[in-house]
């Protein structure tokens, strides 16, 4: 005769009130301030959906888990809170992977809650488990990019794991955390007060007065110093502190793609973006600097011209001081004179305050030089802002977009001309209004991320500027925007192909095989505006350059999601920097 050993929960149940875990967990999410969960259903998560449906939390049901993850990512960027994703196991988990990895590479706080196969099936290879060579291990797919992957083995662990997930996703360098829950645990009972602990309020690390003094001294004494701002400056909401430091010591500011917006576009000390798609004045000043103070950046490949010293950074002889939330980033690609692990806002505030009233080396006619350098580069393309040609020049599209969208409106890009052109040329004045996928550079990010941005900031305009390739990866975003009542605008730059890669192949191999949209050898165009209308949304086909401005005005004033499709000439974004892939390609016979 077998003896039934009571579990911890059974023992607890005899003494205290209990409720079903899914409901307690949802109430906990409400208490943590979660306003919205983005996800897609499956049999493993309907217990949680039932609870969510009865809560104050909104559930945005997407039609692809990658869309859910990108939307949660956009929400996190525009709200400053972690994005929350709900995913089914197996195909749901693998579909969401790209979106979660994209968030990870851009240091976006995110909690992914996944329903898994029932716990008691471990090793039996149940329905929809990814398990051919490992048992009950599919959550490990998230390991290379999540800050933690938790598999909850017992329902009693759920409160602690969720608290850890919300804490870790936001603490230090933010990023995604996976909470993988065997579905039977959602339906188990927990004591009503099981979800007690909330994430600690964190005092972020700053720099002490002596270190601040040392850095300010070095900047003041340097002959050609540069401040180099990454996305960490924007996510720490530290742009005011950066401007104060730059102005106090008269130091020019260069930035990464994600650092765009760190100073107003018209700030006289702004050099612009560095690297392959950067600006010549930014690359020149970085390369010839005697001291660079880099803040909140990985000094990653695209912005560093593949780390080739002839183009963007030449370290040494340039000396580098690097402030970052993550110690692993310090010294990775360049020898670093001083590494500082600190919060960008606190560190820049300490530096700005130490720099107030300090004398510094004479910077000569630095501001004039910057103005001249920026103007000379813009002269290569600013005449195109008014070009009437059809298909449109991409620069005309940017000009119309800038005119139509208020300064505090969001420009969400994808990858392609949109990201590279906006990063290089588009005037941003309000920090945080430029949202872009940098580290993973995922095609498909923009059309979905704009949903989360609009959810976080419903009173501000939100436009996704995307290529036709990126838009068509997942046009189901239109239906989701309709269902969630999110009046976003997608401005689709249509060049009938994966234009950026087509241009690269053409430059090296003389044709663009495999990169253009074709049917029977002819260009193949999809009517995305009609697709929008089929979803009950608005769709506008722009048929002349002059028609784009009015179309944008109309779309931004509408209370329905709108797709604006505009034919665009496929021209490459200027590349003042370097990318060493261009040295790899070899053309045979």
Using CB under 6 A as the binding rule, whether residue 276 contacts ligand TPP is answered as: no
Q: Smallest distance, Å, CB 469 to ligand TPP?
A: 3
| CA-closest candidate to residue 111, choices 62, 135, 75, 156 | 75
Using CB under 6 A as the binding rule, whether residue 101 contacts ligand TPP is answered as: no
Which residue, 145 or 498, is less far from ligand TPP as judged by CB?
498
In the shown chain, the binding pattern of residues 455 to 484 toward ligand TPP, with x for contact by CB under 6 A and - for none, equals ------------xxxx--------------
| CA-closest candidate to residue 71, choices 585, 446, 333, 328 | 446
List alpha helices for 54-193, DSSP H: 65-79, 91-105, 158-170, 183-186
Q: Pull the structure tokens for residue 162.
A: 């969720």
Q: Are 255 and 272 in contact (CB under 8 A)?
A: yes
Using CB under 6 A as the binding rule, whether residue 495 contacts ligand TPP is answered as: yes
Q: Smallest distance, Å, CB 420 to ligand TPP?
A: 8
Which residue, 276 or 498, is less far from ligand TPP as judged by CB?
498
Which residue, 39 or 470, is less far from ligand TPP as judged by CB?
470
Q: Which helix (H) or strand (E) holds 456?
A: helix 445-456
Measured in residues, the chain has a length of: 589
Which residue, 177 or 465, is less far from ligand TPP as judged by CB?
465
Q: Smallest distance, Å, CB 393 to ligand TPP?
A: 13
Q: Smallest distance, Å, CB 518 to ligand TPP?
A: 14
Q: What is the C-alpha separation between 213 and 406, in angstroms, rounded?
A: 40
Which residue, 261 or 470, is less far from ligand TPP as judged by CB?
470
In order, the DSSP letters of 313-350 are --TTTSEEEEEES-GGGTTSSS--SEEEE--HHHHHHH
Which residue, 28 or 498, is less far from ligand TPP as judged by CB?
498
According to CB under 6 A, which one of 415, 463, 531, 548 is a site residue for ligand TPP? Answer: 415
Q: Smallest distance, Å, CB 470 to ligand TPP?
A: 3
Q: What is the C-alpha separation between 481 and 496, in angstroms, rounded?
A: 24
The CA distances from residue 459 to 465, 518, 556, in Å, are: 19, 40, 11
Which residue, 339 or 572, is less far from ligand TPP as judged by CB?
572
How would you classify residue 263: left for phi > 0, otherwise alpha for psi between -120 and 50, otherwise beta? beta
Which residue, 70 or 578, is less far from ligand TPP as judged by CB?
70
Using CB under 6 A as the binding rule, whether residue 498 contacts ligand TPP is answered as: yes
Q: Are 431 and 239 in contact (CB under 8 A)?
A: yes
Which residue, 336 or 512, is less far from ligand TPP as judged by CB?
512
Which residue, 180 or 468, is less far from ligand TPP as judged by CB?
468
Q: What is the C-alpha separation between 368 and 386, in angstroms, rounded?
A: 26
Q: What is the C-alpha separation between 319 and 306, in angstroms, rounded?
A: 19
Which residues sit opposite 462 in a β-bridge?
410
Q: Give the HSE-up count for residue 69: Cα atoms under 13 Å, Cβ half-sphere.
A: 31
Q: Smallest distance, Å, CB 535 to ligand TPP?
A: 20
Q: What is the C-alpha separation between 20 and 50, in angstroms, rounded?
A: 11
Q: Smallest distance, Å, CB 77 to ligand TPP?
A: 19
According to CB under 6 A, which one of 109, 175, 432, 499 is a site residue for ligand TPP? Answer: 499
Q: Smallest distance, Å, CB 471 to ligand TPP?
A: 7
Q: What is the C-alpha separation between 411 and 416, in angstroms, rounded?
A: 14
Q: Smallest distance, Å, CB 499 to ligand TPP?
A: 3
Q: Which stretch binds ligand TPP (CB under 6 A): 182-190, 223-231, 362-370, 499-507?
A: 499-507
Q: What is the C-alpha separation between 170 and 252, in angstroms, rounded?
A: 31
The dihedral built from the CA positions of residue 159, 165, 166 and 168, taken in this order, carries a sign that is: positive
* Residue closest to ligand TPP (Cβ): 467
In the shown chain, the binding pattern of residues 21 to 40 toward ligand TPP, with x for contact by CB under 6 A and - for none, equals --------------------
How would you classify residue 221: left for phi > 0, otherwise alpha for psi between -120 and 50, otherwise beta? alpha
Using CB under 6 A as the binding rule, whether residue 500 contacts ligand TPP is answered as: yes
Q: Which stretch binds ligand TPP (CB under 6 A): 110-118, 125-133, 328-336, 412-420?
A: 412-420
User: In terms of C-beta distances under 8 Å and separation of at least 24 residues, what long-range contacts does 129-135 make, across chains too?
Assistant: 129/89, 129/90, 130/90, 130/93, 130/94
Which residue, 296 or 444, is less far from ligand TPP as judged by CB?
444
Q: Smallest distance, Å, CB 440 to ligand TPP?
A: 8
Q: Which stretch binds ligand TPP (CB under 6 A): 239-247, 368-376, 410-418, 428-436?
A: 410-418
Which residue, 296 or 470, is less far from ligand TPP as judged by CB?
470
Q: Which stretch binds ligand TPP (CB under 6 A): 62-70, 152-160, 161-169, 491-499?
A: 491-499
Query: Site residues for ligand TPP, window 419-448 (CB under 6 A)?
Result: 441-444
| CA-closest candidate to residue 24, choices 54, 60, 44 | 54
The CA distances from residue 250 to 143, 255, 258, 295, 357, in Å, are: 44, 16, 23, 17, 12
Which residue, 39 or 467, is less far from ligand TPP as judged by CB?
467
Q: Smallest distance, Å, CB 526 to ligand TPP?
A: 11
Which residue, 38 or 498, is less far from ligand TPP as judged by CB?
498
Q: Which stretch binds ligand TPP (CB under 6 A): 37-45, 292-300, 494-502, 553-561?
A: 494-502
Q: What is the C-alpha separation between 120 and 544, in angstroms, rounded?
A: 62
According to CB under 6 A, which one of 46, 501, 556, 560 is a site residue for ligand TPP? Answer: 501
Q: Which helix (H) or strand (E) holds 507?
A: helix 499-509
In order, the DSSP letters of 457-504 are -TTS-EEEEEEHHHHHH-TTHHHHHHHHT---EEEEEE-SB-HHHHHH
Q: Smallest distance, Å, CB 422 to ligand TPP?
A: 11
Q: Which stretch binds ligand TPP (CB under 6 A): 260-268, 282-290, 305-313, 495-503?
A: 495-503
Q: Smallest distance, Å, CB 537 to ligand TPP?
A: 20
Count residues binding ligand TPP (CB under 6 A).
19
Binding region for ligand TPP (CB under 6 A): 414-418, 441-444, 467-470, 493, 495, 498-501
């Amino acid at each position: 005769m077998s003896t039934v050993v009571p579990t911890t929960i059974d023992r607890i149940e005899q003494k205290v009130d209990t409720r079903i875990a899914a409901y307690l967990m949802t109430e906990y999410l409400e208490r943590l301030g979660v306003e919205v969960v983005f996800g897609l259903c499956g049999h493993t998560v309907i217990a949680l959906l039932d609870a969510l449906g009865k809560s104050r939390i909104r559930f945005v049901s997407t039609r692809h888990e990658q869309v859910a993850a990108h939307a949660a990512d956009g929400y996190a960027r525009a709200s400053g809170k972690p994005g929350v994703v709900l995913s089914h196991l197996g195909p749901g988990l693998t579909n969401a992977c790209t979106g979660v990895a994209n968030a990870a590479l851009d240091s976006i706080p995110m909690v992914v809650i996944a329903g898994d196969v029932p716990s008691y099936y471990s090793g039996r290879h149940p329905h929809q488990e990814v398990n051919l060579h490992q048992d009950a291990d599919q959550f490990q797919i998230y390991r290379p990019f999540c800050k933690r992957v938790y598999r909850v083995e017992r329902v009693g662990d759920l409160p602690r794991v969720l608290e850890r997930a919300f804490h870790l996703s936001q603490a230090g360098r933010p990023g995604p955390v996976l909470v993988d829950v065997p579905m039977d645990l959602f339906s188990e009972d927990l004591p009503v007060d099981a979800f007690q602990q909330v994430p600690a309020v964190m005092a972020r690390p700053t720099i002490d007065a002596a270190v601040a003094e040392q850095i300010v001294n070095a900047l003041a004494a340097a002959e050609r110093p540069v401040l180099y701002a990454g996305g960490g400056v924007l996510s720490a909401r530290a742009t005011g502190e950066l401007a104060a430091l730059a102005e106090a010591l008269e130091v020019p500011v260069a930035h990464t793609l994600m650092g765009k917006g760190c100073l107003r576009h018209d700030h006289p000390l702004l050099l612009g973006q560095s690297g392959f798609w950067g600006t010549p004045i930014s690359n020149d000043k970085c390369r010839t600097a005697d001291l660079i103070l880099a803040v909140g950046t990985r000094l990653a490949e695209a912005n560093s011209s593949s780390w080739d010293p002839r183009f963007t950074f030449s370290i040494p002889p340039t000396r580098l001081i690097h402030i970052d939330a993550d110690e692993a980033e310090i010294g990775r690609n360049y020898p670093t004179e001083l590494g500082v692990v600190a919060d960008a806002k606190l560190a820049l505030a300490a530096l700005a305050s130490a720099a107030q009233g300090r004398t510094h080396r004479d910077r000569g006619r630095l501001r004039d030089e910057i103005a001249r350098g920026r103007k000379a580069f813009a002269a290569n393309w600013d005449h195109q802002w008014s070009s009437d040609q059809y298909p449109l020049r991409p620069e005309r599209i940017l000009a119309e977009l800038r005119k139509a969208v208020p300064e505090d409106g969001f420009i969400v890009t994808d990858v392609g001309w949109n990201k590279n052109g906006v990063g290089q040329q588009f005037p941003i004045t309000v920090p945080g209004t430029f949202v872009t996928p940098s580290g993973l550079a995922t095609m498909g990010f923009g059309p979905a991320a704009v949903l989360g941005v609009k959810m976080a900031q419903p009173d501000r305009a939100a436009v996704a500027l995307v290529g036709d390739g990126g838009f068509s990866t997942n046009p189901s975003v239109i239906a989701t925007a309709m269902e969630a009542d999110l009046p976003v605008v997608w401005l689709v730059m249509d060049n009938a192909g994966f234009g950026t890669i087509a241009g690269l192949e053409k430059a090296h191999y003389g044709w663009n095989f495999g990169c253009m949209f074709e049917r029977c050898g002819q260009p193949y165009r999809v009517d995305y505006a009609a697709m929008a209308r089929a979803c009950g949304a608005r769709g506008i086909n722009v048929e002349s350059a002059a028609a784009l401005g009015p179309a944008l005005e109309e779309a931004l004033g509408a209370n329905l999601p709108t797709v604006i499709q505009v034919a665009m000439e496929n021209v490459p974004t200027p590349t003042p920097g370097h990318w060493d892939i261009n040295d790899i390609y070899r053309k045979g016979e």
